[in-house]
Amino acid sequence: MSRKPDWAREGATWPNRGASRFIAAGGVRWHVQIMGMGPPLLLIHGAGAASHSWRDVAPLLARDFTVIAPDLPGHGFTSTPSGDGLSLPGMARALRALLEALEMTPDLAVAHSAGAGIALHMRLKGWIGDGGIVSLNGALRPYGGGAGPVFSILSKLLFLNPLTIELFARRARRPGAVARLIENTGSKIDEAGLGLYSLLISATGHIEGALGMMAHWDLKPLLARMPHLTGPVTLVAAKGDRAVHPSVARDAQALIPESVLVNLPGLGHLAHEEAPEVIVHIIREAFGVDGRDSEPMRGSHEARSERDCP
């Protein structure tokens, strides 16, 4: 039987714990962190992560925004939904229900890796406003390129086999295992961050949620609709990313009308955990906020422009 992380035990030292709350919405019992004052800003983490991924970014953004950082369905301390709840449309619908329960309609979103697909889908549906989206190393290409269907099949087999999931969790508890996994993404994070990933990966329920998300992921409908996106989109591509190649952002930029490509040197897939101040600066710049003015400014993007982050 799969085991989710326990809030009383594993959650005792969870980052920004004071901002946490649990809310039932969309058939899911959510763990969500809310902090700050200002325009609502939705943070969406990627597959296999949780709200801890924003542990340093969220408090910095909370100076200018009301930050909403949930654990996605099946991840962290949020329950696993039934049916297609781990698919891209399913997660987007569930997030919409959460925002409705919170009585918040963000115009702005920041999304990492697979979370970028969720943010763009919600924008196309009109479930978040068109103030702007920042995609951090967005996984906006089917898994593995030509090997995508094979990867999907393997994910489904792993998802359906609890013995395999338990074996993965046991191996993840070995010394150095999580550090190697993170290094394979091109990132180096501190010991506290590694400890949080170790906590999550050792819980079979979290692994089951992450594998289920990958097994049910289908980006083709979203890619077909990307040319219809409205509102500015900033595509941040870390040049050292080994999980999502920087060319993915360039391909997405060719499809999204009002988009900016920001090339980020020296960092990997978890750039927001490696250098939170750098990422917060990019986010504030994308939304036209300099730390003194809490109102995001429109019109700061040019169609399909590109720049390098120093």
- State which CATH number among 3.20.20.210, 3.20.20.450, 3.60.10.10, 3.40.50.1820 fits the domain covering 14-144+218-293: 3.40.50.1820
b/e sequence 4-34, b meaning 16+ C-beta within 10 Å: bbeeeebeeebbbeebbeebebbebebbbbb
Query: For position 308, what pLDDT does the model report?
Result: 75
Single-letter amino acid code for the residue at 255: L
What is the mean pLDDT for each group of 10 consecutive residues in the chain (310 residues)? 85 96 97 97 95 98 98 96 93 98 97 96 97 96 51 43 60 73 90 91 86 87 97 97 93 96 95 97 91 42 66
pLDDT at 34: 98
Give me the pLDDT at residue 212, please.
Answer: 85
Per-domain residue ranges for the chain?
14-144+218-293
**Confidence at residue 178, expressed as pLDDT on a 0 to 100 scale:** 82
The residue type at 145:
G
Q: Alpha-carbon distance 239 to 262, whole Å?
A: 10
Give me the DSSP letters along 113-147. Answer: TTHHHHHHHHHHHTSS-SSEEEEES---S-TTGGG
What confidence score (pLDDT) does residue 187 get?
93
Q: Which pTM was predicted?
A: 0.89
The whole-number pLDDT of residue 181 equals: 81
Q: In this structure, what DSSP letter does residue 46 have?
A: -
- What is the reported pLDDT for 95? 98
pLDDT tens, residue by residue, 65-76: 999 999 999 999
How do residues 9-66 score in pLDDT, each as one tens digit? 989 999 999 999 999 999 999 999 999 999 999 999 999 899 999 999 999 999 999 9
